[in-house]
Amino acid sequence: MTTPTTTTTIDTDLNEAIKKHLPSMLSEQLRAELARIPQLEKIAADRIATIDRLTEQVANWKKDAQDADNKLEKQVSLQKREAAVAERERLAEIFELKAQMAATQRYADQITTVTLGLVRNAEFRREVFGGGYTSEVVNNGGYNSPQRLDRGHNETTTSKIE
C-alpha cells in the first residue's frame, strides 16, 4: 500500500499535469470523475458481495433440488418394491387358496368313495327334501323346535365303485 504522503504527492502531481496539459473544462470533468472513484468502488464491492451471496443461494437451491431428486428416486424405487411384494403376496394367497380348494375336492372325493364303499350293495340311497322345515313350532319337552315337513322324496341311484 501507498502511504498517505505518496498518495497526496501522486494526486498533486496528477492535478498539476492535468492543469498544464488539458483544457480547464476537461480537467474539471476529469476531477469530478476521479472524485467519484471511491463511491464507485464501494458500489462495486457491494455488488460483488450481492453476487457472492446470490451465487451461494443458487448453489444451496441446486443442492436442495438434487436432494429432492434423490429422495424421489428412492421413493419411486420403494413403491416399486412394495408393489412387487404385494403382487408376490397376492400370488402366494391365490396359490394357497387353490391348494386348499384341491385338498377340499380330494377330501370330498374320498368321502364319496368311502361312503359308496361302506354301502356295499349295488344301490346308494339318499333323501332329497324340498323345503325341510316349517315355521310351526312344536313344544318338545319344554324346548321349541321347528317341525320337519316330509315333502321330500327318496331317490335311488346305482353306486359307482371304482
Half-sphere exposure of 136 (CA within 13 A, CB side): 6
- What is the DSSP-derived secondary structure letter of residue 149? P
pLDDT for the residue 3: 52
Distance, in Å, from the CA atom of 100 to the CA atom of 92, rounded to the nearest integer, reads: 12
- From the number of C-beta atoms within 10 Å of its C-beta (0-12, 13-18, 19+), residue 18 rates as middle
In whole angstroms, give the CA distance from residue 30 to residue 101.
103
**Residues with pLDDT less than 50, the chain:** 1-2, 121-133, 135, 152-156, 162
Q: What is the pLDDT of residue 2?
A: 46
Asked if residue 152 lies in contact with residue 129, where contact means CB atoms within 8 angstroms, the answer is: yes
Q: What is the pLDDT of residue 131?
A: 45
Angle between helices 24-119 and 4-21 (to 10 degrees): 120
pTM of the model: 0.40
Here the cell at position 70 is: 434423490
